[in-house]
Amino acid sequence: MVDMTRRPEDLRSHQWYGTDGLRSFSHRARTRQLGYLPEEHLGKPVIAILNTWSDINPCHVHLRDRAQAVKRGVWQAGGFPLEFPVSTLSETFQKPTPMLYRNMLAMETEELLRSYPVDGAVLMGGCDKSTPALLMGAASVDLPTVFVPAGPMLPGHWRNEVLGSGTDMWKYWDDKRAGLIGDCEMHELESGLARSPGHCMTMGTASTLTAAAEALGVTVPGASSIPAVDSGHDRMAAKAGMTIVDLVHRDRKLSAVLTAEAFEDAVTTVLGLGGSTNAVIHLIAMAGRAGVRLTLDDFDRIARTVPVLANVRPGGRTYLMEDFHFAGGLPGFLSRIPDLLHLDRPTVSHDTMREQIAGAQVHNDDVIRPRDNPVAREGGVAVLRGNLCPDGAVIKHISAEPHLLKH
């Protein structure tokens, strides 16, 4: 077996820690000040854990604990973990919209990774814009990188109803306005709509983009659908910590994973999941940072070849992300469309995507439909052009009533 371990002097952090100069002396002295022994960190890959945890962000509120699992994995694999708090983008609370701050988090990610003694990065996020922001910034620095998705919250419940966060909110607000329910019911709904830490558990922007990250190959296998409060999420985080140390030793940079083929597969995935139209904006921006040309026309072209197989609300009719997870998660979904994917490209965990999804199965054909019984025959979005939108617009036609499709 070939020993892939990199020599200490080949690590990027060696420039901070390992030279004979005054600066290295100072950096070592300051690391003693942090309380670390020389043998705990010198010559080891320094892993930055960029954590978007905040008290104000219910989608990421568990990530403070989860970072400990990432550190556990890094230590066990022989790395030196350091946690960096970064901006949190809370879709619920941040006004006027976190979209104004996506690029700020991308810049923060880029500048932190570039300016500190970092050999590899673990990015922790999931609420809507945080996934593209973190990956955009990391792509510009191009270090070995692993993404840890925040994971979906548990399904909402109210009386005998299963609720989808971010979708049933609108429905019940309309019921209140119509006088169908009152303050008592709304008070109960406040406690049932979002029952645990984690991002929205519909196939909204958050679940779509974390699935896209897994399809790109930047998460450990099966990571994106693990419920945020499941102990499997802790294990996934520890595995991500181990994986990043291995990636640094292999010197597999993010650019080796974020290829044109990977972005095509991410688009295929988003369309086959009936995912959010917001993914169009973010994937094009992420591809741009990775030096890959991705356009609206690529979405239109691929949409014509991909059936929607995920029966997850709101594109699907019935299920939520926990159902999708136990039906096989993204590996199960991808195992239904291998002919539509580029399986020979590397991921953070495997030399090929083929290995990554080997053995994956679907355990519920109503949640992840077979090809001969799709939710929709073509991918969930269509690109439109006309005098109102000469440069193109996107419609999620599977969520629209048929009478709205001709205008």
Nearer to ligand FES, 136 or 256 (CB): 136
- Report the nearest approach of ligand FES to the CB of residue 79 (Å): 30
Q: Are 149 and 237 spatial neighbours (Cβ–Cβ below 8 Å)? A: no
Phi-psi region of 67 (alpha: psi -120 to 50; beta: other; left: phi over 0): alpha
CB 308 within 8 Å of CB 274: yes
- Is residue 199 near ligand FES by the rule CB under 6 A? yes
Smallest gap from Cβ 201 to ligand FES, in A, equals 9
Q: Least Å distance between CB 59 and ligand FES?
A: 4
Contact mark string toward ligand FES, 111..140, x via CB under 6 A: ----------------xx------------
Pick from 117, 144, 166, 316 the residue near ligand FES by CB under 6 A: 166
- Residue 152 sits at φ, ψ, to 5 deg, of -75, 150
Bridge pairing between strands 46-51 and 80-85: parallel
- Shortest distance, position 153 Cβ to ligand FES, whole Å: 8
Closest CA to 276 of 312, 330, 300, 325: 312
Only one of the segments 28-36, 199-207, 359-367, 391-399 lies at the binding site for ligand FES (rule: CB under 6 A); that segment is 199-207
When binding is defined by CB under 6 A, the residue of 46, 135, 200, 215 that contacts ligand FES is: 200
**Residues from 287 through 316 that contact ligand FES (CB under 6 A):** none
92 touches ligand FES (CB under 6 A): yes
Query: Measured between alpha carbons, how far is 395 from 402 in angstroms, rounded to an integer?
Result: 12
Distance CA 286, CA 256 (A): 15
Under the criterion CB under 6 A, does residue 167 sit at the interface with ligand FES? no
**Alpha-carbon distance 166 to 207, whole Å?**
12
- The footprint of ligand FES on residues 27-66 (CB under 6 A) is 59
Q: What is 346-407 written as a DSSP string?
A: --SS-S-HHHHHTT---S-TTTB--TTS-SBSS-S-EEEEETTEEEEEEE-GGGS-GGGS--
Q: Are the C-beta atoms of residues 106 and 137 closer than 8 Å to each other?
A: yes
Counting contacts by CB under 6 A, is residue 322 touching ligand FES? no
Q: What angle do CA 343, 345, 348 make, to 5 degrees?
A: 115
Give yes or no for residue 168 binding ligand FES (CB under 6 A).
Answer: no
Q: CB nearer to ligand FES: give 57 or 349.
A: 57
Q: How far is the CB of 382 from ligand FES (least distance, A)?
A: 25
**CB of residue 136 to ligand FES, shortest distance in Å:** 18
Asked whether the CA dihedral 36, 16, 141, 221 is positive or negative, the reply is negative
**Identified binder of ligand FES from the candidate list 47, 206, 283, 398, rule CB under 6 A:** 206
CB of 96 to ligand FES, least distance (A): 15
Contact window for ligand FES (CB under 6 A) among 102-110, 198-206, 219-227, 369-377: 198-206
Count of residues binding ligand FES (CB under 6 A)?
9
User: Is residue 77 within 8 Å of 245, Cβ to Cβ?
Assistant: yes
The reply on whether position 91 binds ligand FES by CB under 6 A is yes
Using DSSP's 3-state secondary structure scheme, residue 64 falls into helix
Which CB, 31 or 210, lies closer to ligand FES?
210
Tell me the C-alpha distance between 269 and 215, whole Å: 7
- Binding site residues, ligand FES, CB under 6 A: 59, 91-92, 127-128, 166, 199-200, 206
